[in-house]
Structure 1
Amino acid sequence: MAGSKTATLYRMVMPDHLCPSGLKAKWLLEREGYTVEDHPLRTREETEAFKAKHEVSYTPQAWIGDKRIGGYTELRKHFGRKQLEKGETTYRPVIALFTMTLLMALAAAWVATGEPLTILSAEWFVSFSMCVLAFLKVRDVESFSTMFLNYDLLARRWVPYGYIYPFAEGLAGVLMTAKILPWISVPVALFIGTVGAVSVIKAVYIDKRAIKCACVGGDSNVPLGFVSLTENLFMIGMGLWMGFNAFA
């Protein structure tokens, strides 16, 4: 029952710094039904004295009864919440990305045609996804290109391709969204999609390598495999579809 359990929390609350993890820790404890005895640490000196007294290296620090649990991350683990460990792979960023681009495509098609489920919404889903994936790569192209070199066959032979790839993907996505200049977008999508698909197949399904995918940027923990292969197959399929409609 809410209010029947108590927890003690020490967190930094200073004029120039309100600890975000401390706020999250307080919110999580209250959400779990605890009445929080909140002890703000209002100066650096007070914070350092607290850490020295309790022999801890960081704040916030939470106690449930006489047991010290730790900070926000430790509280999440204590309450059985999923906590991504450092270096652990996850498909969460890709699921979020494709969910959002699908909703964007459905919304845009609704505005354009009055119907959400159309060929246009399927086309825009792919082209919007290409644009967003390109953005995630371009925001740190150096990091992306480094991770990309781990598996892409062409980039390993010609390093500049790792820098060109995200801009090429973005260009093809924008042109396909606008349905203009198919003589540029179609060959680009087919080329980078084919090279990417072959590279993933070799790295994952032939060489059996367990490495991270650069598909959502160079700082991702997405494993290389099905998702990256799907991205490339989507580009190939979109290129073939756009080419057929433009040149048939």
Structure 2
Amino acid sequence: MKKKATLYRMETAEHICPYGLKAKYLLKKHGFEVADQILESREQTDVFKQEQGVKSTPQVFVEGERIGGHDDLRSYLGLENPDKDVVTYKPIIAIFAVTFLMALSLTINTYQDLVFEPVLIWFFGMSMAVLAIQKLRDLNGFINQFITYDLLAMKYIPYARFYAFAEAYAGIGMLSGLNPWYFAPVALLIGTIGAVSVIKAVYIDKRALKCACVGGDSNVPLGFVSLTENLIMILLAVYMLINFF
């Protein structure tokens, strides 16, 4: 026999609580018979919270016993709650994985074969462009995080703003097929400063920092991945300049 659960969640013309929908999904997924009680206005929601002595909705009751909100329900079901502050490489892995597959697809589509050089150039060009978008969507947030470890940005704050645009410029340049002297020196400059900054902050000063590479709200740790990104930028810029002649 199915356990019975009652879910109180807010759903108005202006707002549908996402955690209420998630709680409903979890309850049904785990075999509960759900009585879905919709709170159809802010006023009705406030009255419910006051009556129950709770600060938020949704609220879940199982067999008459209050379990709590969405996170409490996950704990009740034995599920982990994602930690928003946990240090993770997931954002950078997602970006690199998608841009690599894009570069691979474009190379096969263009050459009807797998050619290493364009895969490498397009992959890194796309990656730089996407990473620049991540920075530009919240430029002030990026600047606040970037200036805590970049050696030039510490001394000259406007360089942090320049960096975000320069990365976009260099990345798009790599995709353009134009003379690399138009953009490769920019990649070489920001890559060199970035590599030296990471080495000093992480490997010399031993500071535990978050990388601003995917934006100011990033929980990606500053370290090996950031250093590798800068070193590849340097090597690719040098490679393109040498091979242009």
Q: TM-score, normalised by structure 2?
A: 0.93
| Aligned AA (2:92) | V
Give yes or no for contact 1:90–1:222 (8 Å, CA) kept in 2.
yes
- How is 1:1-248 mapped onto 2 (pairs within 5 angstroms)? 4-116=2-114, 118-247=116-245
SS of structure 1 residue aligned to 2:11: strand
What per-residue deviation string (whole Å, max 9, x for no partner) do you get for residues 22-66 of structure 1?
Answer: 111111221222221211112222211211111110101112334
SS of structure 1 residue aligned to 2:218: coil
Q: Distance in 1 between matches of 2:224 and 2:27?
A: 38
- Stretch deviating more after TM superposition (163-172 or 235-244): 235-244
CA RMSD of superposed structures (Å) = 1.7
- Stretch deviating more after TM superposition (235-244 or 51-60): 235-244
Give the length in aligned residue pairs: 245
Q: Distance in 2 between matches of 1:233 and 1:47?
A: 54
Give yes or no for contact 2:8–2:57 (8 Å, CA) kept in 1.
yes
Q: TM-score, normalised by structure 1?
A: 0.92
User: Unaligned stretches of 5+ in structure 1?
Assistant: none
Residue identity (%):
51
SS of structure 2 residue aligned to 1:189: helix
SS of structure 1 residue aligned to 2:85: coil
Q: Distance in 1 between matches of 2:202 and 2:29?
A: 42
* Distance of aligned partners of 1:59 and 1:148 in 2 relative to their CA distance in 1, 3 Å threshold: same
User: Unaligned stretches of 5+ in structure 2?
Assistant: none
Give yes or no for contact 2:188–2:238 (8 Å, CA) kept in 1.
yes
SS of structure 1 residue aligned to 2:183: helix
Give yes or no for contact 1:107–1:116 (8 Å, CA) kept in 2.
no
Give 1:232 shift: 0.8
